[in-house]
């Protein structure tokens, strides 16, 4: 009896080992090796069965055979133990390989999704659904989009089997989530649901309508975007139960699909915005009254708007890609404009602001324009030049008319002022001359006094006519490099007698590090004397006259200030007009001449005054240190 048990145990061990060997064929894919092992085990089983048959029929088994069977039992047990130990390892390896295969399939699907840059939304969801069905080894499925309020689900894609076998897909594809059953629960819970026995499931479900394909297993995966359910996918009828790996693979695939959709929407929105901005800019360029021309680095014209057509007389199609931008200028002008564009003189490097030049129209006429231009670079290389220009012909005509009217007005004021300034001294001269003639035999002292008055009035006439001559025949400055502080000190020494007579204190605040620059000493001496005399006349008795010099970035400043009566605001606005004066016997030309001289030195003169507190005149000279 013991030997029978030994044989039966040996047969069972070998049978179990053979079965495991056969199962390892599917797991490892190495059929030949495991078939040989299984075949050897089956031969051993046959040998054990023969021995068992002999024992049962004859009741006798050779002693050597008994020892061999015992050894065979031990070998069979060890063999079974060995296969049993490696079987889980191969199962784990199979699971890892399966997971790797699924990951590769999912990544391949996501990569293909990313290549579908111009595909419509339904093309994307169709592809993602078929990939999801294949990944999970399902038979049916759908993908839908949830609206922003999570109120409705719009089905976009059905799997092929559903299209072939189910009539529901032909019905309206918009479903309210509030009344939905199992798939609605996935949206409401915001997490995946696995149902491996649909009929016995305790989850909320409403069943499915007539004509719907039969469902036995179901996997539902929502896609979340910032906490909101944006999409929902469902796959069903997998031959085996759904597991976490199916859920994970489908979730990752759908996330890839959603990221692609979002990127596609962003790209489309950006493209739409770029196109809208392009149309807006094109319309803006084309409707501008100013001429706008853009050219590449070779001078080929790229943009020629309607304003340019009006000013230059060319049609757009006659110049764009046909002629060079240099042909719109007379010889050397384009080169000069480019030179100024690269210099900081007119608005900074690579910019040109309000630069007056001339262009050639279609008839070859020179058109005065005000040009602003920008140099566009790409990787530190000139890519294009954009120019904006305004026709100055109408403005020049208007300016000429205004200038002519202003000249006539100035001439009228000048004639009236000269008439007044000459008439009064002449009346005094004439009156006293007649008195001297009538009193030739009278008192010599009185006649001498009257003759002195006549001489003084003649001198005043001479001074006035000299001022008029200076203003009317202004000479260009003769520039000499010098120290402005030295000139100021010379002027102050000349003023000493007047300062002493009026008891006015002189204050000098001169910058000892004032840089030298080129100026006309005689012209600026006249300016300083004019301004100083005005200040002294504004201080009747006592006060302070201050000369100050200093530097600021790009400029030298000279300030002449006093503590006199000041200038009324209404007079300050007209202070530089020729023949305007706040003094009873002033010529009204001193400040006008001073402004003329400062303009010839590329400088500016500004006056700030407060009645009762004094006046400050600031002279600004533009210099490069």
Could you give the CA distance from residue 66 to residue 72 in angstroms, rounded to a whole number? Answer: 10
Give the integer Cα–Cα distance in Å for 321 and 165: 61
**Mean pLDDT on 486-515:** 91
Cα(381)–Cα(362) distance, integer angstroms: 32
pLDDT bin (cut points 50, 70, 90) of residue 512 is: very high
Rounded to whole angstroms, how far apart are CA atoms 82 and 61? 30
Under the banding of pLDDT at 50, 70 and 90, the label for residue 555 is very high
**Span 36-54, pLDDT tens digits:** 777 777 777 787 777 777 7
Give 306-326 pLDDT, tens digit per residue.
999 989 999 989 999 898 988
CA distance 79 to 81: 5
* Averaged pLDDT of the chain: 80
Looking at residue 397, the DSSP 8-state letter turns out to be H
Arithmetic mean of pLDDT, 289-301:
89
> Across residues 591-602, what is the average pLDDT?
85
**What does the angle CA 462 – CA 464 – CA 465 come to, to the nearest 5 degrees?**
65
Provide the pLDDT confidence category of residue 1 given band limits of 50, 70 and 90: very low
pLDDT of 134 strictly over 90 = no
Which pLDDT score, from 0 to 100, does residue 203 have?
58
With contact defined as beta carbons under 8 Å apart, do 141 and 159 qualify?
A: yes
Better pLDDT: 356 or 207: 356
CB atoms within 10 A of CB 323: 15
> Is 417 or 567 the better-scoring residue by pLDDT?
567
C-alpha triplet 265, 147, 155: angle, nearest 5°: 90
Phi-psi region of 566 (alpha: psi -120 to 50; beta: other; left: phi over 0): left
Distance of CA 613 to the CA centre of its chain: 51
Question: Rounded to an integer, what distance in angstroms lies between the CA atom of residue 312 and that of residue 290?
Answer: 11
Least confident of 241-245, 346-350, 490-494: 346-350
Residues above pLDDT 70, as percent of the chain: 75
Mean pLDDT of 203-228: 74
Contact yes or no for 199/214 (Cβ under 8 A): no
Query: 271 or 461: which carries more pLDDT confidence?
Result: 271
pLDDT at 511: 94
Task: Give the per-residue pLDDT at 252.
Answer: 84
Mean pLDDT in residue range 193-204: 74
DSSP-derived letter for residue 515 is: P
For residue 385, pLDDT over 70 is answered with yes
| Long-range contacts from 333-337, C-beta under 8 angstroms, 24+ separation | 333/357, 333/358, 333/359, 337/371, 337/373
Residue 195 has pLDDT above 60, yes or no: yes
Which residue, 182, 180, 132, 179, is CA-closest to 157?
A: 132
Look at residue 233 in the predicted model and tell me its pLDDT. Answer: 92
Which band of pLDDT confidence, cut at 50, 70 and 90, is reported for residue 587?
low
Residue 616 — pLDDT band, cuts 50, 70, 90?
very high
Lowest-pLDDT choice from 319-328, 393-402, 436-445: 436-445
Using 50, 70 and 90 to split pLDDT, how confident is the model at 202? low
Q: What is the pLDDT of residue 223?
A: 92
C-alpha distances (whole Å) from 318 to each of 2, 291, 323 are 114, 16, 8
Q: Which long-range contacts (CB under 8 A, 24 or more apart) does 552-555 make?
A: 554/622, 554/623, 554/624, 554/625, 555/620, 555/621, 555/622, 555/623
Question: What is the C-alpha separation between 449 and 96, in angstroms, rounded?
Answer: 131
- Residue linked to tokens 């602001």: 353
Q: Among 92-96, 442-446, 469-473, where is mean pLDDT lowest?
A: 469-473
Residue 79: its pLDDT value, please? 66
Please name which of 148, 241, 260 lies closest in space to residue 196, comparing C-alpha atoms: 241
Residue 210, Ramachandran bin (φ over 0: left; ψ between -120 and 50: alpha; else beta):
beta
296-302 average pLDDT score? 89
In the DSSP assignment, the letter for residue 206 is: -
> What percentage of residues in the chain have a pLDDT greater than 90?
16
In the numeric block, the tokens 């006659």 are attached to 318
pLDDT at 160 over 80: no
Rounded average pLDDT over 158-185: 70
The most confident of 475-479, 596-600, 619-623, by mean pLDDT: 619-623
pLDDT, tens digit (0-9, with 9 covering 90-100), for 94-110: 566 666 665 666 666 66
The phi, psi pair for 580, rounded to 5°, reads -95, 130
């Amino acid at each position: 009896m013991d030997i029978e048990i030994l044989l039966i145990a040996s047969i069972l061990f070998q049978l179990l080992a053979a079965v495991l060997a056969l199962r390892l064929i599917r797991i490892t894919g190495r059929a030949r090796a495991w078939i040989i092992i299984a075949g050897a085990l089956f031969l051993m089983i046959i040998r054990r069965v023969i021995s068992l048959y002999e024992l049962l029929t004859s009741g006798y088994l050779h002693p050597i055979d008994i020892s061999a069977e015992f050894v065979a039992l031990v070998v069979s047990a060890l063999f079974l133990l060995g296969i049993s130990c490696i079987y889980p390892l191969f199962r784990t390896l199979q699971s890892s390989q399966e997971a790797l295969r699924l990951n590769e399939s999912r990544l391949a699907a996501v990569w293909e999704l990313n290549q579908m840059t111009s595909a419509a939304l339904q093309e994307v969801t169709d592809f993602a659904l078929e990939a999801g069905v294949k990944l999970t080894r399902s038979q049916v499925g759908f993908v839908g989009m949830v609206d922003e309020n999570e109120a409705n689900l719009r089905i976009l894609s059905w799997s092929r089997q559903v299209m072939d076998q189910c009539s529901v897909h032909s019905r309206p594809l918009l479903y309210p989530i509030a009344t939905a059953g199992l798939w609605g629960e996935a949206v409401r819970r915001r997490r995946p649901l696995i149902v491996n026995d649909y009929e016995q499931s305790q989850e909320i479900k409403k069943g499915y309508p007539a004509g719907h394909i039969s469902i036995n297993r179901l996997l539902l995966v929502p896609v979340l975007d910032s906490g909101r359910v944006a999409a929902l996918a469902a796959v069903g009828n997998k031959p085996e139960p759904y597991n976490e790996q199916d859920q994970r693979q489908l979730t990752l695939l759908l996330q890839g699909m959603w990221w692609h959709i979002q990127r596609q929407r962003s790209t489309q929105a950006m493209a739409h915005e770029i196109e809208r901005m392009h149309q807006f800019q094109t319309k803006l360029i084309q409707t501008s009254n100013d001429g706008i021309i853009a050219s590449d680095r070779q001078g080929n014209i790229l943009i020629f708007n309607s304003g340019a057509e009006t000013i230059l007389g060319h049609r757009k199609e006659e110049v764009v890609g046909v002629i060079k931008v240099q042909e719109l200028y007379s010889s050397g002008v384009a080169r000069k404009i480019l030179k100024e564009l690269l210099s900081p003189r007119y608005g900074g490097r690579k910019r040109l602001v309000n630069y007056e030049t001339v262009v050639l129209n279609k008839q070859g006429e020179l058109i005065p324009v005000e040009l602003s231009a920008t140099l566009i670079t790409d990787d530190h290389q000139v890519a294009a030049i954009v120019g904006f220009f305004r026709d100055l012909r109408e403005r020049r005509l208007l300016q000429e008319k205004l200038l002519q009217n202003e000249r006539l007005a100035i001439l009228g004021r000048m004639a009236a002022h000269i008439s007044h300034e000459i008439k009064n001294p002449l009346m005094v001269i004439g009156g006293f001359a007649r008195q001297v003639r009538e009193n030739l035999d009278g008192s010599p002292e009185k006649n001498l006094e009257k003759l002195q008055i006549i001489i003084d009035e003649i001198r005043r006439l001479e001074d006035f006519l000299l001022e008029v001559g200076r203003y009317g025949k202004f000479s260009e400055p003769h520039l000499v490099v010098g120290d402005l502080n030295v000139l100021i000190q010379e002027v102050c020494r000349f003023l000493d007698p007047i300062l002493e007579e009026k008891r006015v204190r002189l204050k000098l605040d001169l910058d000892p590090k004032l840089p030298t620059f080129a100026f006309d000493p005689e012209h600026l001496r006249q300016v300083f004397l004019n301004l100083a005399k005005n200040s002294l006349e504004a201080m009747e008795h006592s006060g302070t006259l201050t000369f100050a010099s200093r530097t600021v970035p790009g400029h030298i400043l000279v300030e002449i200030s006093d503590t006199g009566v000041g200038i009324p605001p209404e007079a300050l606005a007209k202070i530089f007009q020729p023949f305007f004066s706040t003094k009873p016997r002033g010529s009204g030309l001193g400040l006008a001449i001073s402004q003329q001289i400062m303009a010839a030195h590329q400088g500016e003169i500004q006056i700030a005054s407060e009645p009762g507190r004094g006046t400050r005149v600031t002279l600004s000279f533009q210099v490069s240190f």
